[in-house]
């Protein structure tokens, strides 16, 4: 029996695609192992220069340490470096962000000819590459890729160039995939994409998809991996108001709390718009968890701009802030901007914003101490059961529980697992 391993770098979309590949190989009598595999697959990331370096290092190390394996490199890093990819990596099969669904064909072609395969497509013209997962091998929350690509061209981001324009999975195919997963005991669905809020198929938008999924009584929770503030339209507000299956958690990237910096980033909103929309969300779901992403040290960001971001994050009262120091991404507008922020200043700002995030996180979690919450148990380890509430509070429980079941528990302070979030 042939063996394989998969290394996944980067985002949840990559994780979904890797899970699809895992399912295909397992269904075709391949065995997954952790090392010394016959086939080594690396699904790469290129979101920053650091991600590029890591992708390159992982591929070359695997090739060096597994000289007799078929090494498959794929994904965003390969797509970005497609014109001279062989200058960077040594692999037997190299593809970009298309042909991932053709993994078996590619392996068969290589085994037949024993010649390196390098295959790329123009992502500008790419259509949605359909994949379908019927079961998740290692998880009880199922990430479903319903959209690919981005049209926004934020000044710091390379992703529209390597993922292509916005395109969506067929509405009925989404529903069929989720129905299959529900029959395999999946209770929580996480809708994912490069720009999930731009989902559109056969006249139906993201809110329509959520409402249709919620008709499946085996699905107990629907979550979004991320959504932009400008995509929370009236139909999404109606979902928040009337759909009990949709969880009380939204991850909404802010990126900066300074209008000046937001404009430099080419983001499509200002602070006033963001705040007004948050107020609208909370008027519908008072205690909803709102997490976010913030980039600190963007070119031209002054200390005053950063303090404005700190104050705005505090004013919004996020439940969690994922903090990223700005990193030049070659090929983007921001990489050519002047007034770069020195590394020591970026490091200090990251530390200060993480401190605020920790403070806001504890404040939000403590609001629910003494109240009853519902938790989906996902893992048992060392006598403890781990899971998340629908508003994404991570719990670590003692007691008699079953994996992949939802329980109503009274939240004690000691049950909150800060290490898991």
**3-state secondary structure at position 325:** strand
pLDDT of residue 49: 86
Residue 73 pLDDT exceeds 90: yes
Sign of the CA dihedral with 137 first, then 141, 143, and 144 last: positive
pLDDT of residue 420: 62
Residues 6+ positions from 63 with CB-CB distance below 8 Å = 40, 69, 71, 89, 90, 91
How much is the mean pLDDT over the chain? 95
CATH fold of 250-367 reads Transcription Regulator spoIIAA (3.30.750)
The half-sphere exposure of 214 on its side-chain side, counting CA atoms within 13 A, is: 17
Residue 138 pLDDT exceeds 90: no
The Cα–Cα gap between 116 and 246 comes to 46
The Cα–Cα gap between 130 and 165 comes to 16
Task: Select from 180, 183, 110, 177 the least CA-distant residue to 145.
Answer: 177
The Cα–Cα gap between 371 and 253 comes to 29
Domain 124-247 in CATH 3.40.50.10310? The answer is no
Burial of 187 (0-12, 13-18, 19+ CB in 10 A): middle
Mean pLDDT of 37-63: 94
Q: pLDDT digits over 354-413, tens only?
A: 999 999 999 999 999 999 999 999 999 999 999 999 999 999 999 999 999 999 999 999
Residue 301 pLDDT exceeds 60: yes
CATH of domain 3-121: 3.40.50.12160
Lowest mean pLDDT among 34-38, 81-85, 136-140, 312-316: 136-140
With bands split at pLDDT 50, 70 and 90, how would you rate the model's confidence at 262? very high
pLDDT of residue 419: 75
Mean pLDDT of 47-76: 94
Residues 6+ positions from 99 with CB-CB distance below 8 Å = 74, 106, 119, 121, 129
pLDDT of residue 136: 86
| CB-CB contact of 222 with 189 (8 Å) | yes
| CB-CB contact of 175 with 223 (8 Å) | no
Mean pLDDT of 27-40: 95
With bands split at pLDDT 50, 70 and 90, how would you rate the model's confidence at 206? very high
Spell out where 283-349 has E strands.
Answer: 289-296, 320-325
**3-state secondary structure at position 74:** strand
Q: pLDDT digits over 146-191, tens only?
A: 999 999 999 999 999 999 999 999 999 999 999 999 999 999 999 9
Q: pLDDT digits over 327-357, tens only?
A: 988 899 999 999 999 999 999 999 999 999 9
- Count of residues in the chain: 421
With bands split at pLDDT 50, 70 and 90, how would you rate the model's confidence at 139? confident
Mean pLDDT of 280-289: 97
**3-state secondary structure at position 264:** helix
pLDDT of residue 140: 82
End-to-end CA distance of the chain: 38
Residue 212 pLDDT exceeds 90: yes
Full-prediction pTM beyond 0.75?
A: yes
pLDDT of residue 354: 98
For 189-256, the DSSP string reads EEEE-SSGGG-EETTEEHHHHHHHHTT-TT--EEEES---GGG--HHHHHHHHH-SSB-SEEE---B-
| CB-CB contact of 194 with 162 (8 Å) | no
With bands split at pLDDT 50, 70 and 90, how would you rate the model's confidence at 421? low
β-strand partners of 267: none
Mean pLDDT of 227-232: 97
Strands of the sheet with 70-75, listed across from one edge: 31-32, 3-8, 39-44, 70-75, 93-95, 117-119
Lowest mean pLDDT among 122-131, 206-215, 291-300: 122-131
| CB-CB contact of 148 with 13 (8 Å) | yes
Q: pLDDT digits over 6-22, tens only?
A: 999 999 999 999 999 99
């Amino acid at each position: 029996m042939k063996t394989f391993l998969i290394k996944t770098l980067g985002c949840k979309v990559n994780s979904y695609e890797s899970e699809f590949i895992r399912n295909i190989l397992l269904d075709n009598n391949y065995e997954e192992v952790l090392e010394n595999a016959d086939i080594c697959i690396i699904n790469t990331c290129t979101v920053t220069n650091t991600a590029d370096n890591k992708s390159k290092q992982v591929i070359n190390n695997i090739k060096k340490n597994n000289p007799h394996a078929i090494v498959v490199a794929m994904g965003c890093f390969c797509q970005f470096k497609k014109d001279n990819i062989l200058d960077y990596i040594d692999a037997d099969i190299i593809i970009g962000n298309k042909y991932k669904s053709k993994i078996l064909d590619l392996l068969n072609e290589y085994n037949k000819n024993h010649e390196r395969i390098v295959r790329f497509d123009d992502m500008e013209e790419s259509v949605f590459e359909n994949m379908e997962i019927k079961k998740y091998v290692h998880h009880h929350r199922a990430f479903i890729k319903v959209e690919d690509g981005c049209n926004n061209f934020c000044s710091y981001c390379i992703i529209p160039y390597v993922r292509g324009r916005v395109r969506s999975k067929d509405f009925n195919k989404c529903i069929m995939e989720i129905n299959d997963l529900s029959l395999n005991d999946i209770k929580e669905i996480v809708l994912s994409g490069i720009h999930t809020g731009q989902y559109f198929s056969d006249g139906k938008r993201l809110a329509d998809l959520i409402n249709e999924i919620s008709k499946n009584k085996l699905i107990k929770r629907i979550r979004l991996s991320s959504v932009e503030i400008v995509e929370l339209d009236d139909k999404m507000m109606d979902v928040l108001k009337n759909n009990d299956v949709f969880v009380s958690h939204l991850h909404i990237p802010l990126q900066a709390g300074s209008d000046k910096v937001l404009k430099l980033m080419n983001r499509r909103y200002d602070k006033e718009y963001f705040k007004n929309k948050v107020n609208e969300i909370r008027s519908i779901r008072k205690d909803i968890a709102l997490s976010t992403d913030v980039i600190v040290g963007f070119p031209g960001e002054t200390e005053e701009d950063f303090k404005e971001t700190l104050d705005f994050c505090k004013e919004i009262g996020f439940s969690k802030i994922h903090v990223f120091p700005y990193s030049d991404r070659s090929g983007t507008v921001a990489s050519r901007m002047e007034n770069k922020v020195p590394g020591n200043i970026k490091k200090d700002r990251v530390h200060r914003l993480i401190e605020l995030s920790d403070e806001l996180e504890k404040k939000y979690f403590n609001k629910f101490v003494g109240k009853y919450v519902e938790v989906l148990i996902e893992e048992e380890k060392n006598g403890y059961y781990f899971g998340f509430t629908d508003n994404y509070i991570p719990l670590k429980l003692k007691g008699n529980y079953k994996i992949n079941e939802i329980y109503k528990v009274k939240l004690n302070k000691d049950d909150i697992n800060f290490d898991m979030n």
